[in-house]
Amino acid sequence: MVAAVAAAREAGRGWAALPAPERAAALGRAAAALEEASGELVELGIAEVGKPRAEMAGEVQRGVAILRYYAGAALDPEGDVLPSPDGRSLLFSRHLPYGVAGLITPWNFPVAIPLWKLAPAIAYGNAAVWKPAPAATAVAGRLDEVLQGCLPPGVVHLLRGDSTTGEALVGAADVISFTGSSAVGATIVARGAERQIPVQAEMGGQNPSVVLPDADLGQAAALVAASAMGYAGQKCTATSRVIVVGDAGGFLDALVEAVRALRVGDPDDAATAVGPVISASARERALDAVSAARRAGGRLLTGGGALPGDGYFMEPTLVGDLEPGSYLCQEEVFAPVAAVLAARDLDQAVEIANGVRFGLVSSVYTSDLDQAMRAVGRLGTGLVRVNAPTSGVDFYAPFGGAGASGYGMKEQGKAAVHFYTRSQTVTIAPSRSL
């Protein structure tokens, strides 16, 4: 690992010295190469992490778009020119790369998350050492081959390994971006503070969908079901709590029906919406959480059990009649499981939604603009979506949460330059009196 960081630091000097149009061209070539290799990466993702075909294909195309976006972003202004204090000098700021970006990525988005870290890091002149999750090393290896064919040697290093490898990377890189669990993220944040280096950590969520009585209840049910159960709930943006406000008529029946209608099975089947969870232990933890919720008085609305098949399948599960403080309503389960809660009005719904340590994303379903704006201003999440699912990320918009969901500057879009570069203010005064 130390050798990889040293090699990246050496290669990074030459990479940072390249004119920005050359870095942009390299990222453009990488986008074209990824598009050409998209079929292979889709098959690898289905086989390795069990992502349904339609979702995996969409993820790879998002990766292509991310590379193209940052190819353009490499040509953005490097800073700002400011008024000089004396009318004669030149005063300006500029963005400079840190050196080596250490990137630690999860298994559930094996193409998109690495690229939304790698692309801005290298677009702005850094080299990168990237450690993917052990469960996604086949996809990582093919993605690395794509990048190596388009970039100068040493600019990106793929570093396979376990938590020990990740710890070593955090101790050596110049800037760290991490996506994973809140426990590991907190450790990385603390280590970064000790080293006085920038750290960005995206650490999951316990995301609420608030459904008001005036919403299009059929559409809301379909969107909530997909965002809670799609890809077996293995997204940090998946809906974990459904908060039903007042008398929402037939919403609960529509939600149960929508969840039951989702196809569970082979992720290679184009019709599959819910594939397997990642491991036997992950399924066991989710089933235990459902059992504990039922013992605490929760009412099983649908699902709740394991399913047979060549993989770790689980029924999409809804549990009602729980208290907001119960485990299933407080912690991230990372499986096709969601709790259904009742609220008498929007005020109570917002209180319940904010009553967790996480703060990644929330959704509000309503046809009343006034109610929507009230909710948006009071929900304590980094992202708020109105009449749209909690799941889904716009790669050109800032992304990140509050509380236990996120630390440091936001990812993606124009926000990325402020994380992967340091600001330098320069004054150039005349060398002689004029």
Please identify every residue annotated as catalytic: 202, 236
- The secondary structure of residue 410, as a DSSP letter, is P
Strands annotated E in 175-296 = 175-179, 199-202, 207-211, 239-245
Token digits of residue 24 = 């942009």
With contact defined as beta carbons under 8 Å apart, do 177 and 411 qualify? yes
3-state secondary structure of 284: helix
Whole-angstrom Cα Rg for the chain: 23
Q: Hey, which bits of 344-382 come out as E strands?
A: 358-359, 361-365
Q: Spell out where 40-120 has E strands.
A: 79-82, 90-97, 100-104
């039903």: which residue's tokens?
Answer: 244
Answer yes or no: are the C-beta atoms of 244 and 233 closer than 8 Å.
no
Buried b (16+ CB within 10 A) or exposed e, 74-99: beeeebeeeeeeeeeeebeeebebbb
Estimate to the nearest angstrom the gap between the alpha carbon of 418 and the chain centroid.
18
Q: How far apart are alpha carbons 315 and 232 in whole angstroms?
A: 9
Helix ranges (H only) for 245-354 are: 251-261, 280-295, 346-354
